[in-house]
Amino acid sequence: MGAAMAERIKSKYPVTVFDKDEVKTMLLSGVNVAADNVDLVKKVDTLILAVKPQDFDAVLEEIKDFSKEKMIISIAAGITTEHIEKIIGESKVVRVMPNICAKIGEAQTILCKGRFTEKKDLNFAKRLFDCLGKTWLMEEEMMDAATAISGSGPAYIYYDMEIHKYDSRNFPDMVKEDYTERLTEAARNVGFDPKSALELAQSTTSSSLKLFSFLGMPPAELRKQVTSPGGTTEAAIKILMQGGSWAEAALAAKMRAEELSKKE
C-alpha cells in the first residue's frame, strides 16, 4: 500500500520515503529516499506511516522526539488516534483507511482526525488522499465499520468471482448491481445510514471491478492481496467460506477491527 500511495501522491506533492527493504525504494522513481525513520521525520512536515501493526509502536517510539510539529497519518487498521497520541504526545494525528483500489487511483479512503488536529490539517490530509481516488471524512467511531466495507469489501467481491469462476471475458453486467445491493446491505448491518451505505457500496463495487479488469489477475489472487493473516478481511472471508452472507461477513470484519483496537 505504501508504494501505491507514493506513486499517486508524488504527482502533486514532493515525496520522501524510507523502507528497511531497499529493493522497495529502488522500485520507486521520482521520490527522495531518507536514510532511516528519524531522518525521514526530520525531512518532512507530514509523515504517512505505512507499517505493519506489529511494528507500529516501535516506529512511534523511534520518532516521537522529532514529531511534535509534524502531522502523523496512520493507515494501520485497528490503531486509534488516541493510542498514537499516548505515545507521541499532543501532535496532529489523522487516521486513514485506504483500500487496494489505490493501485489504479480508484481508492475509497476514509479519514478521521485526532484530538489535537485542526480542520485545516484534516483537509490537507484529504487533499493528499484525493490523489488515490475518492475520500470520506468520518468520525472515528465509524472507522471499524468503514474498514469492513471499503477496506475488506473488495475481497467479498473477488471471493464471489472466484467461486463463480468469473474472469474479464465472461463477467455478467447484472452481477455488478447484485454486488452493490449486497455490499449496501452489509454497510447497513455495520451501522451506516442508508445514504452513506449506498454511496460507499457503489463506489467500492465499481472500483473493485475496475481494478479486476485493469490488472487482469485471477480473482483469487486479488482476494489474497486484500487478506492479511489475522486481519479483518480474513475474519470476513471465513464467514463467506462457511456460507455466510456479506452482511454477516462485514460484521465479523468490524468485530475483528474492534478486537485489534482493544489489543493496543
Sketch out the chain's domains with CATH numbers. 1-137 (3.40.50.720), 143-262 (no CATH)
For the full predicted model, state whether its pTM sits above 0.85. yes
Q: pLDDT value at position 31?
A: 94
Give the residue ranges of the chain where pLDDT is below 50.
none
Contact 84, 72 (CB under 8 A): yes
Q: pLDDT value at position 264?
A: 55
Q: pLDDT value at position 120?
A: 96
Q: pLDDT value at position 51?
A: 87
Q: pLDDT value at position 166?
A: 86
